[in-house]
Amino acid sequence: MRTDVAIIGAGPAGMLLGHLLLQAGVQAVVIERRDRAYVEGRVRAGVLEQTTVGLLERLGLDERLRREGLVHHGTNLVHDGRMFRVDMHALTGGASVTVYGQQEVMHDLFEAAEARALPVIFDAEETRLHDVTSASPSVVWRREGIETRLDCDFVVGCDGYHGVSRASLPPDVLRTFERVYPFGWLGILADVPPANHELIYANHERGFALASMRSATRSRYYIQCAADETIAAWPDQRFWDELAHRLGPEAGSAVVRGPSFEKTIAPLRSFVTEPMRHGRLFLAGDAAHIVPPTGAKGLNLAAADVAVLSDALVAFYHDGSESGLTGYSDRALARVWKAERFSWWFTGITHRFPEMDGFARRMQVAELAYIEQSRAAQTALAENYVGLPL
């Protein structure tokens, strides 16, 4: 087999890149270790920045998003039981975010791949990359006992933290930076109306809470929990009681309770790989970086990576220019580190850390009180929340 670009991983980064290249007339094949149902069914992010929405619009994949997505012009913060709103739309010159779950994004990407004949190979096992520093790299995998080799000009690793792509970088080339947080997020999905038409981020002395949603009738709620917590320790009644307590009187009283149909615990970490290119191998999305979910940057960073990389690849095939490919890693990392900084900062002012003493707690409260009273502070938060420019 032969193609221009081999894409490893059919998550948001890989599928968006495949569609962007297909639209520009560049051949690409997407290779995925799991089946479609598994990839599409993963519950992940639900808040899309304007740049991500614009990317889906550019690909003609925004019809259902425009119909079913929930546009948010602001977000809410709670401290000491008091809630205040940050008007992102007014503070950023009209920017907004859209609540539309990653599962829905993936469904749209896969449906369009079938309709547009974008090749996606599922259930590819034992994937290996070869000769990525040469002019003729290749990808080999096994499916149903048959080994297949794909020759290409470039390989793009969009296969996540545990994928083969980042592991293919030599140790003397790879630099990694990591911060593991000493807590997790216990999250539930329930078919009940959300507590507010916009998200609520709550800082409470007993820990963080987030009131979110997937639709006007389906709510997504989270509370901070210990890193070694178990789901069995949190029956629905206990979860609802703790959530309402942490959200405070105003927001907590608006919570509609009901049976959860999904309950998960997610660890929090920050992780960055440098560089994001080695020879003709490029990394994008979770293969190169992970952010804590505070601020919902994961999927959006993946989309930003492939927006930059697709332009560089298209320029190479259309004009013979390699400048975009040469500059990809530095350009992508500049935005990645800004998003890491925002997610680290937002996590830091909203969560309870095990080592926090009275002084550190007062600093959190003072920071939130300052944001509440300062237009400049709210503007900085809003600019980062809606997404920095590419």
DSSP calls for 181-215? EEEEEEEEEESS--SSSS-EEEE-TT--EEEEESS
Instruction: Give the whole-angstrom CA distance, residue 127 versus residue 111.
Output: 25
Catalytic status, residue 385: yes
Which residue out of 72, 278, 289, 351 is catalytically annotated? 72
Rg (CA), the chain: 21
Catalytic status, residue 107: no
Instruction: Give the whole-angstrom CA distance, residue 336 versus residue 339.
Output: 5
DSSP calls for 263-323? EEEEEEEEEEEE-SEETTEEE-GGGTEE--STT--HHHHHHHHHHHHHHHHHHHHHH---H
DSSP 158: -
Helix (H) or strand (E) holding 253: none
CA distances from 122 to 10, 30, 33 (A): 8, 8, 6
Which residue out of 201, 221, 222, 328 is catalytically annotated? 201
Nearest-CA neighbor of 346 among 292, 268, 288, 269? 292
Catalytic status, residue 72: yes
SS3 217: coil
Chain centroid to Cα 371, Å, comes to 25
Which residue out of 181, 221, 222, 385 is catalytically annotated? 385
Would you say 96 and 72 are in contact if contact means Cβ atoms under 8 Å apart? yes
Catalytic status, residue 338: no
Would you say 187 and 222 are in contact if contact means Cβ atoms under 8 Å apart? yes
DSSP calls for 16-56? HHHHHHHHTT--EEEE-SS-HHHHHH-----EE-HHHHHHH
Which residue out of 19, 79, 278, 297 is catalytically annotated? 297
Which residue out of 181, 204, 293, 351 is catalytically annotated? 293
Q: Residues 6 or more apart from 360 whose CB is under 8 A from it?
A: 353
Q: Tokens for 325?
A: 């490919």
Active site residues: 72, 201, 293, 297, 385
